[in-house]
Structure 1
Amino acid sequence: MLRRLVLASLVTSAAGAGALGPLPPLPLLSSPSDALTVTISKSGHRSADGTFRLECGDKAGGDHPAATGACTRLAEHAEAGADPFAPVAKDRICSLQHGGDAVARITGEWRGRTVDARFSRADGCEIERWDNLTPVLPRLSHVRG
């Protein structure tokens, strides 16, 4: 909503001042309410397990150990029009590899919508989904076959 008001104000100002040319695109900023709780367990890495708060607004915040990188990664997903929290499609064929027992849950609000997503490393698709969200989720390289 704020973005629309700013854009409308700029258009009105530009129209009154004469032909200034096209307006530059507005950056894809997170809203001030982008706040997520990331809970990781069974990662096999004591420093990775825990519950962390991630806030992405004008600047990265919270106690997430990689807040700046995590907010940057989420912004990349937004710019690509991707939903980083979407589950694996039920009809997708996934490799039968086990990437460890790690599980994660991300809750909160992102881009104006409620998030409640679960992640694991139970098969190739879930491993890919987890890795695609690094550093929001910790990089876990161990794979057990």
Structure 2
Amino acid sequence: MDMRSPAALALVAATLVAAAPVGGSSAAAAPRTSLTITYFEDAREPATRVAATLRCNPVGGTHPRRSLACRGLARVGLRGLQPLPRGVACTEIYGGPQAAVVQGVVDGQRVWVRLKRDNGCEISRWNRLAFLLPVVWTASG
């Protein structure tokens, strides 16, 4: 068969398409997570800012505990990053001036999360998501 004939070209093209992986490479099919996490020791003092990046699948970025943060994120998922429901009763307790902003993409979904310590509910949420902070955080700061 002459390889320049339309039938031969069609056969080669069909073979290449059949051999191609469905949906692209496995890396492209994996959910992507890419975040910038900015921590403020004191939200009123921009100079106290510490920022880091985090990528999962594969793990990367400047976060000092990337693997731990990715495992924690896989555990809580997008649901764990949701804001507190409106109208929920929270103890009026102040946990400190610390704040953090988590923004980017988790499992292909855009996220923007503000963490603070203004009341009992926010403190509890902060503690559940402390693995994301680019600093080793303890209750004393």
Instruction: Check whether TM > 0.5.
Output: yes
Runs of 4+ in 1 over 2 A off after TM superposition: 137-140
Provide, for residues 39-81 of structure 1, a one-character-per-residue CA deviation record: whole Å limited to 9, x for no partner.
011259xxx94110000113x2111111111100011113xxx
Task: Name structure 1 gaps, 5 residues minimum.
Answer: 7-28
Counterparts of 1:20-59 in structure 2, within 5 Å, are 31=31, 33-43=32-42, 49-58=49-58
1:63 corresponds to 2:69: no
The SS at the match of 1:84 is helix
In structure 2, the residue matched to 1:141 is 139
Task: Name structure 2 gaps, 5 residues minimum.
Answer: 1-21, 24-28
Say if 1:74 and 1:54 are closer, same or farther in 2 by CA, change over 3 A: same
- How many residues are aligned here? 109
In structure 1, the residue matched to 2:87 is 91
Could you tell me how far apart the structure 1 residues matched to 2:91 and 2:140 are? Answer: 16
Cα contact 1:30–1:75 (8 A) shared by 2: no
In structure 2, the residue matched to 1:127 is 123
Q: How big is the shift at 1:96?
A: 1.2
The SS at the match of 1:131 is helix
The SS at the match of 1:83 is helix
In the superposition, the TM-score normalised over structure 1's length comes to: 0.67
Question: In structure 1, what residue type is equivalent to 2:34?
Answer: A
Higher percent of residues as helix? 2
Cα contact 1:99–1:122 (8 A) shared by 2: yes
Larger Rg: 2
Root mean square deviation of aligned Cα:
2.4
Percent of aligned pairs with the same amino acid:
28
In the superposition, the TM-score normalised over structure 2's length comes to: 0.68
